[in-house]
Amino acid sequence: MTSFETELLESGFTQKDLSYLNNNISRYGSTLREVVEELGQRFVMVLCITIG
């Protein structure tokens, strides 16, 4: 387990979440960091739409 994965677990991600993300990464490419950054951007966008 990488230090980034440990940080994600400490931030509220579950082992099941990480497994799901890693399975998709192995299928489609990319890195865990890129996927988490993209999810963060989508979360902010949805939050702005919901609030605005």
Question: Is residue 35 within 8 Å of residue 21, measured between CB atoms?
Answer: yes
Three-state secondary-structure class, residue 30: coil
Q: Where are the domains of the chain?
A: 3-51
pLDDT digits (tens, 9 = 90+) for 19-52: 999 999 999 999 999 999 999 999 999 999 999 8
What pLDDT sits at residue 52?
A: 80
Helices (H), 1-52: 3-10, 15-28, 32-51
What pLDDT sits at residue 28?
A: 94
* Entry pTM: 0.79
How far is it, in rounded angstroms, from Cα 41 to Cα 43?
5
pLDDT, mean of residues 1-11 = 96
Please give the structure tokens belonging to residue 11.
């931030």
